[in-house]
Each structure stands twice: as structure tokens, then as C-alpha cells.
Amino acid sequence: MADITQVNDQISIEREGDVALVCINFPPVNATGIGVRQGLCDAIAQLNSEGSAKAIGIYAAGRTFVAGADITEFGKPPLSPSLPDTLNVIEASDIPVICVLHGTTLGGGLELALSAHARIALEGTRIGLPEVLLGLLPGAGGTQRLPRLAGMPFTLDIALSGRQVGAKEALEKGAIDRIASGDPREVALAAAQEVIAGTLPTRRTRDLDAELDQAAIDGTRAMLKKKQAHLVSPHLIVDAVEQSTGDLDAGLKFERDSFMACINTPQRAGLIHAFFGERAVSNIPEAKGPTREIAKIGVIGGGTMGSGIATSCLIAGYAVRLIEVAQDGLDRGMATITKNLEGAVSRGKMSAEARDAALARLQPSLGLDELADVDLVIEAVFEKMEVKKDIFGKLDTICKKGAILASNTSYLDVNEIADCTSRPGDVIGLHFFSPAHVMRLLEIVQGAKTDADVLASGFALAKKLKKVGVLAQVCDGFIGNRILAHYSKTASYLVLDGASPQDVDNALEGFGFAMGPHKVGDLAGLDIGWMTRKRKADTRDPNERYAGDVADKICEEGWFGRKTGRGYYVYDAGAPVPNEAIAGFIDAVRAEKGITPKAFTNEDIVDRYMTAMIVEATRVVEDGTAKRPVDVDMVFLFGYGFPRFRGGPLHYADTIGASELVSRIEAYAKEDPNYWQVPDLLRKMAADGTSFADLNKEA
């Protein structure tokens, strides 16, 4: 009978001869919540006061060693003992302590291991300090103890990138002492016995010195100044790592103070909203339940979109049949897919063998008849309803019973497409974002008659493709493009009313977007918007202020952005520069419309642009196109380059507050009452004092 004492629900001590094994058991990921911290302190104190054990082995039950601090505790009043204090207790133990790592040993989990007197990782273990991805810095010794073991460059690398490192690299760098194979408990027992026998050396990390690498510190600072000026925690990480050459306790204090400063930032709140939001979007009944088996996928269309979708499916391990109408289109599609896969190999995302295997699973075909045996078809052809209807009518007769028929349409009515088949229950929208093998968003569009298992299969597919699947209902543009169509007019109105395209871009880049809307337009191709404006000209609301005057003039010159070398910017060799001719177009339109230009500050620009985005996002939640505010937020983080540290448009809206937003909209409405209207939901939230976070909780 094993001699096991339960310290609390999450920590137990097992005694085996001279060895004490401390097991952490707090599913799902053994995060260091208050129970784990208290239990570890009590276990170490108890074993030291008893004095009978000669070595302590700490390991964890379940799929992983500790994956970090308990993120759900952040933003709430801190509970003692803190993690740094807990780890100091472990490090101070008179009885040597070893940790056995498996799974993903991250953040506070790695810091726990660093406070032990030796570390062994099981094969396949990955370690990392991902706090930076949550707007934090390692707050329990990571910036102080890791440099002592593995040096400053490695610490800066993993603490600033948040990347996970394999056991082999961790061993080479000195972050762990050994790699072993087997069961965590057995390895912990054997290692502790070795410690007693003297064949596994132990030492306290605090007794080692960290070597100053000024070049690494200075180089990193310069890089951050250029690339991550608006983020708080990366800069503090460098400051903390620089402190690691001094007294450990002073370094730990600096680190703790910096950690607490980060805890209180909106960036931390935004990034943690993003962490949980990414998981919440598929934590809905529609994503669960039975799914249909998918092994072979047909992709119709070898253009950029179809090729990207095919690439994504191949990378995930599916067999893919690529369909085009003519040989040259098919050849182009095959070449694009091959190039995409090459890119994945050169970026280290895929091995050359995996690429060859993927290409072997790809079958090019001319004509839809070849789709009889596929489990899922994804149509990615020209956005014209007549073309789509023709294809889906044919698929209805060709595809096997039970095959899922998906359209990658970005705004067309999925119900209309479904209704031209005899099996609308099999039809769904799967809206990928370009480049489809890179962008992580997948809007999963539920038609009125889509079967539940088809919908759940859409979510299962998203997971397999490593994408973030978000449920959307049918409407023009679904969640993302519908909101985009509304707020992008603000950028044009700002230019008509006094700002330059560069003013708008600079202000929004300052807010955190990687590119302002005019640069994005140039990249996507200005002709796309031009075609849409022409297509919608007859149906445009006569009361709507036209937003396309300047863009139309640019397109009339044959300037479609990057692909023609000229758009809002000029793309000769070197960095793009503003296209000077545009100012003339803007002046002409202002003169024609009698507009007297006004001055806009960066803050004015951001406020108007973001308020317009929030208005349409609110309507999308109000009418049920998106299930919850968090779904809108994830669409924007994963599909539209919205700055992750701001959490998404509706998380950001909560930082402003519904009342303030209503006042802003009412003020803007004095200029353009047709465009600026307060959504009923926002007015109600202002009256009730509620937030989008409250709506997330209710849903």
C-alpha cells in the first residue's frame, strides 16, 4: 500500500524509502493557483520539519507539468502565498528538490522548475516563457534564474518571443539538466534516488552568477524601440533580465514590481481576453456533437484563395482534389500551392518530407465530375451568385450522399446558394481569409437549413486546420466584411473632411494596426472596392454620403495600389512614399462638394474610426449575426489585423464605456445623421450601465 498524504486537493506527498514525491494534480493544466501554491509551501515545510526524506521529487499528474500561473486569478486581489514566495521556499529547502517536466512547462511552471535544485525533462517536453503574449513578464524568477542557468541571449529570446523550446534545445542551453523517458512519477523517483546516491548533482540557481551580455541587451532594446514601441511588457523584460547579474532578491523584487505594473495595464486585460476568446468561440453547442468524417476535400478554383485553401488542407494532412475549368488555370493553381508549401518549408513550418507527402496527396483535375468521391467540397470561385448557383446545382448531382458542400463566399447569401440544391442541409459557408494558408480566421456561416452535424464538422475542420472558427449567420458580409464595409467609410470621410490618407494611416498605426486602411487598400488592390462601388451604385441609399470619390479618381488613373506600383502610395524601390497626385484629387473633390477642410488630431481620427467599427459591431451582435461580442472580437484579431493587445473592437469598447460612446455618436450625428446612428443595444447598455463583457457572460 503506497504511503500517500493528501496536503490539499491539489498536492499530495508520497513517501518511498528516503524519497518524498510531491505530486501536483490540478487539471486541466496544473496551473499554479492558490491551492497549488499553498500546497507546495506546506509540503516543503512539512518534509523539511520532519527531516526524514533525503530528496524530494516534484512531478505532475495528467497531460502536462505546470503550464503556468492560473490566468483566471489575474486582475483579482492577490492571494498569499504568491508564486515568487512559494518558489523561494522550494529553493531554500534543505532537502534537495528535483522537478520532472513533461508536456508544456510554461511560464510559472518553468519558473517552478528553475527554483528546484535540478531539472529533468521527459522526451517531448516543451518549455517556454509565454507571459509576454499575455502582456506580462515572467513574474516568479524567470528573468532572474534563467539567465543564471542558460544565459541572457536565450532568456531574452524565449521571454520576448514566447516561443516553446524542445527538450533538446533546453538541455543544450542549460535550462534543464537531463532528458529522460518514461512515466513522470517513475522518473522522479529514480532521479531522487540518484540525488541521494550522488550521481545526479544538485545546486541552487541563486548561487550561480548571470553573465552580463551588454550587446544582447542593447541590440534587443534597439529592436523593441523600433518594432514594439507601443507595448509595455517587452521593455520591462529586458530591464529585468539586465538586473539578473546582481543580487537575486533585488532582481526578484524588480521583476515582481514590473509584473504587478503589467498586471494593471489594459494591454494585459486585452491579451488575456484574446487568450480566452480564442477558446470561447468554439465552446458553444453548435461546435459540439456528432460530426461527419472528412478525409478527402475538393477545392474548386485555383486562384489565390482556392490555392491557399488547398494548401491549408494539405498542411493539415487531408487529401485534396483541386478543380479548375481550364488547364492553364489548373497549372497556375498547382504552381501556387507548390510555392506556398515551399514557403512553409523555408520558414521552418514544415519538413521537406512533409511537403513531398502533401504534394503526393494533391490531385489536379479539370471539371466538377471528379468530385464524386470527396467528403467536403469548398467552392472558391468568382463572387457572382449566378456562377455559384450553377456550380452548386451541378455538385448536387455529382457529389456523394452526405458530402458537405461549402462556399467560400465572403458576402453572398448562403441560403440562396443552398436552395439551388436538393440538400440544403449539407450546405454551409466556410469563409477563409487571404492568404488562406496563413490567416487563422475561418467564419463558419450557418445557413437556415444547415444540418447540425455539418455545422459541427465546420468547427472540427477549423481545429484540424489550426484555425479559429467563428460562427456567423447569413447577411451581406457576415461578421467581418459587414463591419468593415461600414467603418471603412469613416477613413474616406476623414480624408474628404480634412485629413490626408497618411494622417489616417499614421494615427491608426499608432493605435496598433500593422497598416493603416489606405496601405491595406493598396495591398488588397483598389480595383476591388471600385468594382463593388460600381456594382452597388444602383442600390445605394440616396441619403448616404458617398465615400468613394477620391478612390474612384485614383482607379480611373489605372492606379490600383501595389500591383500597379501606384495607389495612395508610390511603390518604387525602397519604402513606399505618399503619392503626391492624390492631394490634387482630394482638393478637387472638396472644391466640387464645397467642403472646407478641418484639422483632425490623431485622437480624433482613432475615435471616429473605432466608434464606427463599434457601432456596426454592436448591430452585428444585436441582430444575432454574431452570437456574442467575443465572437466579433476574435474575427477582428484573427482576420483583420486588429491589435491583439486591445482585445478586439468590443473589448476595446468596454474600455470607453457605452455612455461615452453614445455621446460621441450623437455628437458626430450632428454632421451626418444618416451615417452616425446609435444602435438600440448600445443605448440600452448605457442606460443599464452594462458592458459587452456582461453580454459575453450571459450568452
According to CB under 6 A, which residues from 39 to 78 bind ligand 3H9?
67-72
Q: Which x/- pattern over 96-135 shows residues binding ligand 3H9 (rule: CB under 6 A)?
A: --------x-xxx--x------------------xx--x-
Q: 376-379 and 404-407: which strand pairing? A: parallel
Q: Which x/- pattern over 402-441 shows residues binding ligand 3H9 (rule: CB under 6 A)?
A: ----------------------------------------
- Nearest approach in angstroms of CB 85 to ligand 3H9 is 10
Residues touching ligand 3H9, count (CB under 6 A): 25
Question: Is the bond preceding 435 in cis, omega lying within 30 degrees of 0?
Answer: yes
Cβ proximity to ligand 3H9, 263 vs 445, nearer residue: 263
With b for 16 or more beta-carbon neighbours within 10 A and e for fewer, the 401-439 pattern comes to eebbbbbbbbbbbbbebbbbbebbbbbbbbbbbebbbeb
According to CB under 6 A, which residues from 138 to 167 bind ligand 3H9?
138-140, 142
- Nearest approach in angstroms of CB 164 to ligand 3H9 is 8
The reply on whether position 28 binds ligand 3H9 by CB under 6 A is yes
d(CA 137, CA 84): 13
The residues, ordered by sequence, that sit 6+ positions from 505 with a Cβ below 8 Å of its Cβ are: 515, 516, 517, 518, 519
3-state secondary structure of 670: coil
Q: Which x/- pattern over 281-310 shows residues binding ligand 3H9 (rule: CB under 6 A)?
A: --x---------------------------
Cβ proximity to ligand 3H9, 75 vs 219, nearer residue: 75
The catalytically annotated residue of 16, 91, 111, 286 is 111
Contact 674, 545 (CB under 8 A): yes
- Nearest approach in angstroms of CB 139 to ligand 3H9 is 3
The reply on whether position 255 binds ligand 3H9 by CB under 6 A is no
Instruction: Output DSSP code: residue 141.
Output: S
Provide the H-helix boundaries in 383-525: 385-398, 414-418, 452-464, 480-497, 501-511, 517-524
Residue pointed to by grid coordinates 444547415: 450
The residues, ordered by sequence, that sit 6+ positions from 542 with a Cβ below 8 Å of its Cβ are: none
The catalytically annotated residue of 50, 73, 131, 172 is 131
- Nearest approach in angstroms of CB 286 to ligand 3H9 is 16
Q: Is 111 a catalytic residue?
A: yes
> In what side-by-side order are the strands of the sheet with 11-16?
3-6, 11-16, 19-24, 55-60, 97-101, 118-122, 178-180
The reply on whether position 20 binds ligand 3H9 by CB under 6 A is no
- Nearest approach in angstroms of CB 24 to ligand 3H9 is 13
d(CA 294, CA 403): 9
CA distances from 325 to 31, 90, 242, 444 (A): 54, 67, 61, 27
**CA dihedral for 515, 518, 524, 529, sign (positive or negative):** positive
- Nearest approach in angstroms of CB 106 to ligand 3H9 is 4
Q: Which of 163, 203, 230, 279 binds ligand 3H9 (CB under 6 A)?
A: 279
Question: Is the bond preceding 28 in cis, omega lying within 30 degrees of 0?
Answer: yes
Residue 15 pairs with which residues in a beta bridge? 3, 20
- Nearest approach in angstroms of CB 69 to ligand 3H9 is 3
Q: Which of 13, 22, 29, 508 binds ligand 3H9 (CB under 6 A)?
A: 29
Cβ proximity to ligand 3H9, 130 vs 147, nearer residue: 130
Q: Is 544 a catalytic residue?
A: no
Stretch of 11-19, 136-144, 214-222, 326-334 contacting ligand 3H9, by CB under 6 A: 136-144
Q: Please identify every residue annotated as catalytic.
A: 111, 131
Interface contacts to ligand 3H9, rule CB under 6 A: 28-29, 31, 67-72, 83, 104, 106-108, 111, 130-131, 134, 136, 138-140, 142, 279, 283
